[in-house]
Structure 1
Amino acid sequence: MTRSTRPAPGQPGRSPQRQGPTPAERARTVAGRAGAAVCAAGIDGSRVLAHATTADGQVFVVVPTDGDVATAVRHAADGDLAALLLVTDHAPVELREPVRAQVWLSGWLTPILPADVRPAALAFADVAPVGALLDVGRGATLLRLDLAEVVLGECGTVTELTPEDYLAAAPDPLADVEAHALQHLDHAHPEELALLASRVPTAWLGDGDVVRPLGLDRWGFRLRIEQRSGHRDVRMPFSAPVTGPEELAGAISRLMCAARQACPGR
């Protein structure tokens, strides 16, 4: 990631107010992605079966009981293990550089008392109902990560967050539908993608540059300009942020209508 995301001038809904998520909101959204690994002393990127940040502000991971992480926690002298959970966010469409963002959650992996495993698993399932939870106690172990530091890496920028700010933020309400929406735009609606791309300032486009869908959140679309060397990301904001998937179709329709009015030849 080589350039920061910024709104293009003259777009619909442009205002002095922010037009995108806060770093804490982005961190919560990225942390909900599936790809994750745990690093600790002597452990370099061990497999995580599942992970989640619950509504009440706890971070849990599910790991193989016979794996490196669970074994290290069982044998930790202090009863917990200093560790880092790395979550990587990949674009759901084909890009030259597919990694959109990463979140590093650092702290201490701690065993969960047997009496607390079921309530912890239920809280986990409320935000991430994954099949790995069914294996807890039968080949999989549920651990808690007591947060000490949170770092978001995105658009060539690294942002440090307090655990309090991270836990107080909410993930984007479109996170679960983003992949399908972007894939549908990319595969089935090239004309709409071209219409969005027409709003990119011409000064930002060079010969051979390609505009690709990069992201979608409650604030609007993000596009990636793949250049000969590197890339540039640009935001196409909705006229107003949406509160959930049920408002998405209307927001997209208004955005496309505004884009057509700005490009009457289309």
Structure 2
Amino acid sequence: MPSAAERTRTLVHSTCSSVLLIPGLAGARPEQLMADVRSVGPDGDVFLVFPADSPAVRAATHAQDDEVPAVLEITDVAPVSVPHRIRGRAWISGWLTRVPGQAGPGRTTLRLEIRDAYVDDLWGASAVEAEEFAAAKPDPLVQQETGLLQHLDSAHGEQLRRLCAVVEREATARVTPLALDRFGLRVRFAGTDGHTFDARFDFPEPVDGLAALRRAMHQLFAAADTP
């Protein structure tokens, strides 16, 4: 399974929504605290690009040499329609500073120097040290996961339903691909009574790209068709 640090790093690199929480910052609307761009530097610092007039930018600017505590809260919502759609959250806390000259016109880059992080997702809840976060790599499928899950849901429903046999369950009302990473596929089964459960299908070996993923998915579906 991916480590807690890898899962947190993957969320930062994903398209999940996030909000920057700054203690004492009053009157700011949530959408004003959502960065346009997120990235991670070589030392593990998180860089956030905001409009130059954002309340977050003003707070970092007015602090000057003082450290501004902040928490980046990331919410991971499944990109397909499924019961209980929130897949997880991560909180990355640290100190905020302004980075001049690193963004285009009308934009300002802020750096969040990581103190620690915490992730609570489909794998469980765990704390993450700053050094672990800096050393971790995002999942290689992070940029493609949304499109891949939507494609599986719309074009491979029958094959997904046959996975019921693999977990020795009767056919259910709905089978939805919930999450995908280099280690495998997670599927959510929903019964006619509204009860849901998840099943995880591991690949024979971790995949490192789309070509390897196609082979792994073919093997998974072939196994579901084998008596």
User: Smaller-chain TM-score range?
Assistant: 0.7 to 0.9
Among 205, 225, 231, which residue is 2:189 paired with? Answer: 225
Percent identity of equivalent pairs: 35
Residue 102 (structure 1) aligned with residue 99 (structure 2): no
The worse-fitting range, judged by mean Cα deviation, of 32-41 and 50-59 is 50-59
Change (3 A) 1:162 1:209: farther
**Backbone CA RMSD of aligned residues:** 2.2
Match of 1:83 in 2: 70
Check whether the contact 1:30–1:101 (CA below 8 A) recurs between aligned residues.
no
Structure 2 counterpart of 1:74: 61
Structure 2-normalised TM-score?
0.87
1:186 to 136, 153, 164: 153
TM superposition outliers: structure 1 runs of 4+ over 6 Å:
none
**Secondary structure of the structure 1 residue equivalent to 2:167:** coil
Instruction: Choose which of 28, 32, 45 in structure 1 pairs with 2:9.
Output: 28
Partner of 1:133: none
Partner in structure 1 of residue 80 of structure 2: 93
TM-score normalised by length of structure 1: 0.75
Point out which structure has higher relative CO (alpha carbons under 8 A, 6+ apart): 1
- Paired residue for 2:139? 172
Query: Greater shift after overlay, 231-240 or 179-188?
Result: 231-240
Q: Which residues of structure 1 form unaligned runs of 5+?
A: 1-19, 118-135
Deviation, 1:226, is 3.6
User: Measured at CA, do residues 193 and 57 of structure 1 come closer, stay the same or move farther in structure 2, by a change above 3 Å?
Assistant: same
- Structure 2 unaligned runs (5+)? none
- Tell me by how many angstroms 1:158 deviates: 2.5
Contact 1:83–1:107 (CA under 8 A) maintained in structure 2: yes
Would you say the 8 A contact 1:104–1:152 is kept in 2?
A: yes
Aligned length: 220
Moved more, 177-186 or 50-59: 50-59
Q: Report what 1:48 is aligned to.
A: 35
Structure 1 CA distance, aligned partners of 2:24 and 2:220? 50
1:198 has 2:180 as partner = no
What corresponds to 2:122 in structure 1?
A: 155
